[in-house]
Structures are given as structure tokens and as C-alpha cells.
Amino acid sequence: MLNSSATQRQRLIEAIQTLPDDVLVELTGYISYLQYRHCQPYEIRQYPISDKLATHYDSK
């Protein structure tokens, strides 16, 4: 039996595979944001996601 993390990863992969191609660009941007956020110090990560996403997408 797969562990919880592997199960979640597999479900995510399956969900991504069902998305239409035009959504993948947006998903890629969101994943990049999550990777960026993960690398930031804890103090910076305390801000709500909606504020950071608004700033991230407004800058494009």
C-alpha cells in the first residue's frame, strides 16, 4: 500500500493529467509561486496567500 504522501502525489498527477492544456500555464505559475514561497524565511510566509498571489499575478 502506498504511503499517504505517495497517494496524494499520485492523485495530484492524475488530476493534472485531466486538465485542459490552456489551464496548464496558470498551474505552472501557481507551482512556481509555491516553490518560491517554500524557499522564503518563515516570517515572509506568514502573509495570507491571497495577498501574495495578487502581487505575483499583478506584476505580470
Model confidence over 8-40: pLDDT tens digits?
999 999 999 999 999 999 999 999 998 888 887
**Residue-range domain boundaries for the chain:** 20-60
Banded model confidence at residue 47, pLDDT cuts 50, 70, 90: low
In 1-60, which ranges are continuous DSSP H helix? 4-17, 21-39, 42-45, 49-58
Are 56 and 33 a contacting pair, CB within 8 Å?
A: yes
Of residues 53 and 3, the one with the higher pLDDT is 3
End-to-end C-alpha distance for the chain, whole angstroms: 43
Coil, helix or strand for 48?
coil
The values of phi and psi at residue 58, to 5°, are: -70, -25
